[in-house]
Structure 1
């Protein structure tokens, strides 16, 4: 499409039919760079009693582009060396989180890692959303393997299709409400994760203790120390293998041999690219090794310590660097084991056993040295396991809801912007 041709978004609010016009960002605002006092480490530039905040690169990701508070404040001497904004402005990060737009809602001095859109001829919220949708495209200004280098001239010359001010405002209001809904659901998810973290700390004994701070009614006996292998099967199956490593040449036709499971951030992530191959080879490999529903999975490295359970009996195998534990039913339930491996004391002990910390991982040999403290009463294990399983299910549902909202916004941006 020619740059001068009329452009229309796929989806519009009722009453708007005019074409969007092509403009350069530099025609729509005076784009200037922030400024930083030097040397930036000198304490004379900062003053906690100042009402003028200091906007740093680190504040961008922490507040997702909407700056409502700043921890650091700039002194009068520092203010003379920077650009001070006392009203909301649109900014664009050109360092570290390159291409991230943000709006300041507090008085602030602006670091030289930002561009400021002064005297704008656009609706601020509309342009915030457009820049957010355009963020990944700034990468074309970077060399392969190097950091993107944005400057004011590149941004000024960037072309954009833009509607009337009334339509801009409608779009801005719509996406701001959607952002607020996404933020509310993110806070709810964060709160659920914090609650789980608190329960893990209180419902498992601390180091050297035998009784947790918080228990279900009816249980009072002290927990007992055991070796980890006393409560699970005497062997651990390191199943993280690929057909290629086993010398198996899987074809792309015929039998659906298997699908793999990744354990990411504590949740199962079924891989989309299931392997296809010869049925006899598959049966020979998997005989007696099929993962069972509820079985506990544990990542041994990259990162060490993610835990999940097999969702069903559909013939899964594991991705590399993951192990599957088999519990002794009369000594430990799978649901309890899944929680136990996430508890602070056990995770810290695993980290101590790992070679080089959690970044390196834990070996089968080092796992044999793991000691645990568990309730003798299997009923208490079942209650604890069931409680955390329900909490994990709630967290997973909230995570899926948040992801759907984020995908919904992505779809709207694609359809409602040219």
Structure 2
């Protein structure tokens, strides 16, 4: 369509570009025989149907997750959730986050990396804002520092099972440095706009990660943020966040696993949707004659 429209464009008196009604149908159109037209349109119809299917499944799973996050954690003032796995009846506990985890700052000071210390490849991934999203870690755009530079720094180095939360700019994005993620990127540091949650008592990290992403966690994070130009979360504020959790580790694990499975389904359908969109884009560029 771009190739078709470009020769028909007129430059208007106000330096705008437009196609007049008179010219809109004057362009030449290339098309194959009818049987091939039917085959091409059927092919793209199938791609559109697959895109719609995976997007619908993705949206449905997101809605299910949103509903279950509201129902599988106790409401304010309550000690039991509305929906629960069979076999669990105990009251839930509530504790300050600082009773459960150590909250660690990112690196600052004289050894903080300079612009010249960063590279697109290297030993230690130095997280930036785009790496910690509402859906966890993303490694599309990365910056690295050397092992020597990393060793010269203090706080901010991730270890297995840490949780990262963004504390500046885009607030409250949560990512879990699980064993699966560690296998992909074994050496990682956070920047000063993030905090590390490192557990110090026996609590299921998958559960804590899901709680922090739930409405109960995110509402508290939104309430405690401050600053108008660039809202921030403080270490002290995060330490005071209230965490509800079941007493039995098996129930914690079941809840964490349930929501992790939903996350995996959402990721799967979104990835499939994006892959098919890329196929469609490629085929649209190559299944029609190029200009000239």
**Shorter-normalised TM-score: what interval?**
0.7 to 0.9
Matched, 1:281 2:149: yes
Give the CA deviation at 1:175.
1.4
1:321-360 matches, cutoff 5 A: 321-330=193-202, 332-355=203-226, 360=231
For 1:410 and 1:320, how far apart are their aligned partners in 2?
A: 39
Aligned counterpart, 2:73: 204
For 1:251 and 1:336, how far apart are their aligned partners in 2?
A: 34
Given the two structures, how large is their TM-score scaled by the length of structure 1?
0.57
Q: Which runs of 5+ in 1 are unaligned?
A: 1-21, 28-137, 142-148
CA deviation vs aligned residue, 1:134-183 (integer Å, no higher than 9, x gap)? xxxx9xx9xxxxxxx76443994996763246344543332122111101
**CA 1:158–1:283 in 2, change beyond 3 Å: closer, same or farther?**
farther
Aligned counterpart, 1:218: 87
Aligned counterpart, 1:312: 182
Give the CA deviation at 1:200.
0.6
Q: Which has the higher contact order (CA 8 A, sep 6+)?
A: 2
For 2:49 and 2:201, how far apart are their aligned partners in 1?
A: 47
Q: Which runs of 5+ in 2 are unaligned?
A: none
List structure 1 segments (4+ residues) > 4 angstroms apart after TM superposition: 22-27, 157-161, 241-245
Q: Choose from 280, 283, 289 the match for 1:412.
A: 283
Aligned counterpart, 2:47: 178
Contact map agreement 1:293 1:309 (CA 8 A) in 2: no
Higher share in helix? 2
Give the CA deviation at 1:272.
4.5
Aligned counterpart, 1:162: 30
Aligned counterpart, 2:63: 194
Give the CA deviation at 1:364.
1.9
Aligned counterpart, 2:125: 259
For 2:218 and 2:225, how far apart are their aligned partners in 1?
A: 10
Q: Which has the larger radius of gyration?
A: 1
CA deviation vs aligned residue, 1:197-226 (integer Å, no higher than 9, x gap)? 111111101112111011112221111221
Higher share in strand? 1
Given the two structures, how large is their TM-score scaled by the length of structure 2?
0.78
Contact map agreement 2:158 2:189 (CA 8 A) in 1: yes
Task: Report how many aligned residue pairs link the two structures.
Answer: 272
